[in-house]
Chain A
Amino acid sequence: MIPSVASAQRWRRIFLVIGAILAAYALLAPLTSLDALQSLNVPLLADKLWFRIATYIVMFIVLATAWNIIGGITGYAAFGNVAFFGIGAYTTGMLVAKAKWPFLLALPLAPVLAALFAVLVGLPLLRLRGHYFAVASLGVGVALGELVQNIDYNGQPLFGGASGLFLPIYSIDNRGLYFFYLMCGAAALAIGVTWWVLRSRFGYGLIAIRENEEAAAVLGVNTTAFKVAAFALAAALTGIAGGIFSQWNVFINQDNVFSIEYNVQMILMALLGGTGTVFGPAAGAVLLQLLIQFLGGSLPMSIELPFVSTNARPIVAQIILGLLLIVVVIFIPRGVIDFFGGRTRLSWAYLRRSLRETSL
């Protein structure tokens, strides 16, 4: 069922308006917690817990959007991008905690180091294709986390070891707000970069590589250079998020910056939202992170899951995420962004067509 052009445009307009209102609310509501506004009796539209979660959601917008550059646009299923997040976090963390650098000076080095590492491992790894690349990149992600935790120097753990690395608390008024908007800036950068990539010669080269690497090469695309550049770009953006996270969270260790779970989530978000698109991964990140928080019971609104005790909720959440991944891959292969474009609408016919496309 293909909707007419006029109705497609109407739907697109409706989604744009709703999206703009929601985005404006999410971006502006935290401002109502400022003392100046509170003393003017402006109602509090977002409490502190809520915009801690919001910062977390925006962080995943950065991760999923960055993953999309290598995984969605270039078609290389990277399972180790969390390594770049960890490198970013530890770069900024070490510079702030040990070298006593100011945070804003230490932050720009996070993407630089992450990108350099991506070039280093990308040159051998990006020669692999399909599952071989996926598994090898997963190995890099896991190995790097173990290395960082276990490297000793003069008998002392170099990066804080198993007990992690503590950063001095950043002294600034409205710290929560500050990191929320900093993360929003990183997300805007990631989305802006993706927008640029998809309109550039670089982006067309990447898509050509995804669709047929051999044909791209004989048409003059320097496939190695393009893949490594895409990997490094994704790494840099992921590294920025890691750098911001380290100072925001003030404590980093293997579990919270080298978590493979993050990697699974960023891929799932990009798939859910729509790979290869500008806003798909961001939409997926918001939807999925809200769902994760909801299932985990950390949102203000929550429901009792029948037959599930509070302790078991995170496990049940994992199971639901796994099921969701299967359903999304089979039934919504182009992601939910497909519906927001106004071109297609969710219907039985759509699901049946998807099933035909994705099943062998």
Chain B
Amino acid sequence: MSSPPGRALGAGPTSPQGGEAATAQLELRGVTKRFGGVAAVDGVTFEVGKGEIIGIIGPNGAGKTTLLNCISGVYKLDGGDIRWEGASIKGMAPHRVAALGIGRTFQIVKPFGSMTVRENAAIGALFGNAEGRSGTKLAFEKADHVLELVGLKAKARTQVTSLTIPDRKRLEVARAVAARPHLLLLDEVMAGLNNVEIDEALDMVRAVHETGVTVLLIEHVMRVIVGICRRAIVLNFGQVLMQGEPEVVLRDERVIEAYLGERYAKRLRA
């Protein structure tokens, strides 16, 4: 699977990709979100093709999570437009975005504390994508299936409050996957995991992707971005700094500067 031409090497944030608009599953056009006077996301434009795995990287405070909140309907846009399979989803409530098949996880996990692992996943199966919502009985079967996929099957009946951090992150993914998304937005599911756990999580994301789900993931662990993404989008101060193949992007001076600061980047070059 090779990247389509024109995408491989960083098309700037302002250069339109008109020819591909028809094939894009998700399309962001000048997406802007302000908090008071600060534009946390400032005119972000990019496209996501069906079946891609795209990484969103950028230093702390670059607006990555805010962008996810804009896509999933948690925040209302202050400007721009978001289109899903050609139709605008701007201003839609989160549950309606979810009904279209856009699922997400939270960076700070938000499990349903009084429920078992299995019940948590079943909520995804009961709701989520409007196509193929299950009745209560079938939902638990589907939950079991998803728990197997993410490696939580053995803990299906445990209370979520007694789960370890990596398992809570898995559950966050399981719940989102059980909602049968076409597009899955993952917000730092690898943060705080050790190397072995990251490998397991990578396998999990790959397994989910292989079922035909488009994945857009925010990640600080560069090994993850290089390992599974064909394309990375770099955000800085709420704007798209550049996008392209992860290996290329990570070697780019502007990106290194954004992460490490101008002075340190110069010293690195010297």
Given contacts A212-B110, A220-B179, contact A200 B136 (CB under 8 A): yes
Q: B112 contacts A220, CB within 8 Å?
A: no
A contacts with B: majority SS: helix
B175 at the A interface (CB under 8 A): yes
Q: A218 contacts B72, CB within 8 Å?
A: yes
Q: B136 contacts A219, CB within 8 Å?
A: no
Q: A219 contacts B179, CB within 8 Å?
A: yes
**In the complex, which residues of chain B have a beta carbon less than 8 angstroms from the beta carbon of A208?**
112, 123, 127
For residues 71 through 88 of chain B, which have their beta carbon under 8 Å from a beta carbon of chain A? 72-74
Q: A199 contacts B136, CB within 8 Å?
A: yes
**In the complex, which residues of chain A have a beta carbon less than 8 angstroms from the beta carbon of B127?**
201, 205, 208, 216, 219-221
**In the complex, which residues of chain B have a beta carbon less than 8 angstroms from the beta carbon of A212?**
110-113
Q: B98 contacts A218, CB within 8 Å?
A: yes
A109 at the B interface (CB under 8 A): no
Given contacts A204-B136, A220-B98, A221-B95, contact A215 B126 (CB under 8 A): no
**In the complex, which residues of chain B have a beta carbon less than 8 angstroms from the beta carbon of A221?**
95, 123, 127
**In the complex, which residues of chain A have a beta carbon less than 8 angstroms from the beta carbon of B98?**
217-220
Q: Which of A200, A211, A217 contacts B94 (CB 8 A)?
A: A217
Smallest CB-CB separation from A334: which chain B residue? B114
Q: Which of B99, B114, B115, B139 contacts A220 (CB 8 A)?
A: B99
Q: How far is the CA of A78 from the CA of B255 in the complex (A)?
A: 52
Q: How far is the CA of A276 from the CA of B114 in the complex (A)?
A: 11
Smallest CB-CB separation from B135: which chain A residue? A201
Q: B136 contacts A217, CB within 8 Å?
A: no
Given contacts A200-B136, A201-B126, A205-B126, contact A218 B94 (CB under 8 A): yes
B128 at the A interface (CB under 8 A): yes
Contact string against B for A residues 214-228, beta-carbon threshold 8 Å, 1 for contact and 0 otherwise = 111111111110000
Given contacts A220-B98, A222-B95, contact A211 B103 (CB under 8 A): no
Q: B110 contacts A220, CB within 8 Å?
A: no
**In the complex, which residues of chain B have a beta carbon less than 8 angstroms from the beta carbon of A200?**
136
A207 at the B interface (CB under 8 A): yes
Q: How far is the CA of A207 from the CA of B112 in the complex (A)?
A: 8
**Whole-angstrom distance between the Cβ of A223 and the nearest chain B Cβ:** 7
Q: How far is the CA of A212 from the CA of B108 in the complex (A)?
A: 12
**In the complex, which residues of chain A have a beta carbon less than 8 angstroms from the beta carbon of B135?**
201
For residues 187 through 213 of chain A, which have their beta carbon under 8 Å from a beta carbon of chain B? 199-201, 204-205, 207-208, 210-212
Q: B128 contacts A219, CB within 8 Å?
A: yes
Q: A204 contacts B74, CB within 8 Å?
A: no
For residues 240 through 281 of chain A, which have their beta carbon under 8 Å from a beta carbon of chain B? 276
**In the complex, which residues of chain B have a beta carbon less than 8 angstroms from the beta carbon of A205?**
123, 126-127
Q: How far is the CA of A185 from the CA of B73 in the complex (A)?
A: 44
**In the complex, which residues of chain B have a beta carbon less than 8 angstroms from the beta carbon of A210?**
114
**In the complex, which residues of chain A have a beta carbon less than 8 angstroms from the beta carbon of B63?**
none
Contact string against A for B residues 126-149, beta-carbon threshold 8 Å, 1 for contact and 0 otherwise = 111110000110010000000000
Q: How far is the CA of A211 from the CA of B159 in the complex (A)?
A: 13
Q: A204 contacts B95, CB within 8 Å?
A: no
**In the complex, which residues of chain A have a beta carbon less than 8 angstroms from the beta carbon of B128?**
219-220
Q: B123 contacts A216, CB within 8 Å?
A: yes
Q: Which of A204, A216, A220 contacts B129 (CB 8 A)?
A: A220
**In the complex, which residues of chain A have a beta carbon less than 8 angstroms from the beta carbon of B129?**
220
**In the complex, which residues of chain B have a beta carbon less than 8 angstroms from the beta carbon of A219?**
98, 103, 123-124, 127-128, 175-176, 179
Q: Which of A211, A214, A217 contacts B115 (CB 8 A)?
A: A211
Chain B CB count within 10 A is highest, among A211, A215, A217, A224, for A215
Q: How far is the CA of A163 from the CA of B124 in the complex (A)?
A: 54
B170 at the A interface (CB under 8 A): no
**In the complex, which residues of chain A have a beta carbon less than 8 angstroms from the beta carbon of B33?**
none
Q: B99 contacts A211, CB within 8 Å?
A: no
Q: How far is the CA of A211 from the CA of B160 in the complex (A)?
A: 12
Q: How far is the CA of A125 from the CA of B95 in the complex (A)?
A: 20
Q: How far is the CA of A212 from the CA of B106 in the complex (A)?
A: 12
Smallest CB-CB separation from A209: which chain B residue? B112
Q: A223 contacts B95, CB within 8 Å?
A: yes
Given contacts A204-B123, A207-B115, A214-B74, contact A220 B136 (CB under 8 A): no
**In the complex, which residues of chain B have a beta carbon less than 8 angstroms from the beta carbon of A218?**
72-74, 94-95, 97-98, 103-104, 106
The 8 sampled A-B contact pairs (Cβ below 8 Å) are A204-B122, A208-B112, A214-B74, A215-B110, A216-B123, A217-B74, A220-B99, A221-B95
4 extra interface residue pairs, beta carbon distance < 8 Å, beyond A201-B135, A215-B175, A219-B127: A205-B127, A217-B98, A218-B74, A218-B94
Ranked 8 nearest A-B pairs via Cβ:
A220-B127, A220-B98, A211-B112, A215-B110, A217-B94, A220-B128, A212-B110, A222-B95
